Structure 1
Amino acid sequence: MSSWFGQQQQQGPDPLFLAKTEIEMYNDLFVKMSSTCFVKCRSNFKEPDLNIGEQSCIDRCASKYMEAQEKVGEVMKRVNEQAEQQQRAMQDMQR
């Protein structure tokens, strides 16, 4: 494909679309983690600040949440790689 100026357009996904998608994904992750950890750890609504116990709970909760997300990401990566290999094998068989 060529653009208006006769230059070749980049093949593959649009980098701006990928960046926006990644930002949305991290925003969603942060919102879910924040609400989950807030509900789990916030116990006293009489004081405006978090107490030491609540701060520790939120630190542990956020750490565990991110660890879990990382593990899920690793599993999904392996599943996607296996699916790609199977798809390539099917394409090779059809040739």
Structure 2
Amino acid sequence: MILLELLSGKNPMDGSFEGDQSLVNWISHGFQKNEIMEVIDPKLKGLIDISGAQLHSKLDCVTKIVEVGLACTRYAAGERINMRNVLRLLKEAKAILVKGE
């Protein structure tokens, strides 16, 4: 959950969430619609040079990190990813970013 909060700049009790909407649902919806940058904190977006040559690598890295956050917040505990796989996926995200430089 903390990872999703860091990426979105929102907390789970954010006033912009109405009804059944939650931080996880909001990010998941953006992720499924391939609109990942719509759920990223504008301050964080400012750190991602969207005009840079490595834009594809940066987006792949952010996408991988969001995947990890969503996998950790599945409703059923048995569906959640284990920490060994979290570490592996985060290392993959780092490798994507480093390779794109």
Higher Cα Rg: structure 1 or 2?
1
Instruction: Report the TM-score when normalising by structure 2.
Output: 0.29
Q: Work out which structure has the larger RCO, using CA pairs closer than 8 Å and 6 or more positions apart in sequence.
A: 2
Instruction: Report the TM-score when normalising by structure 1.
Output: 0.30
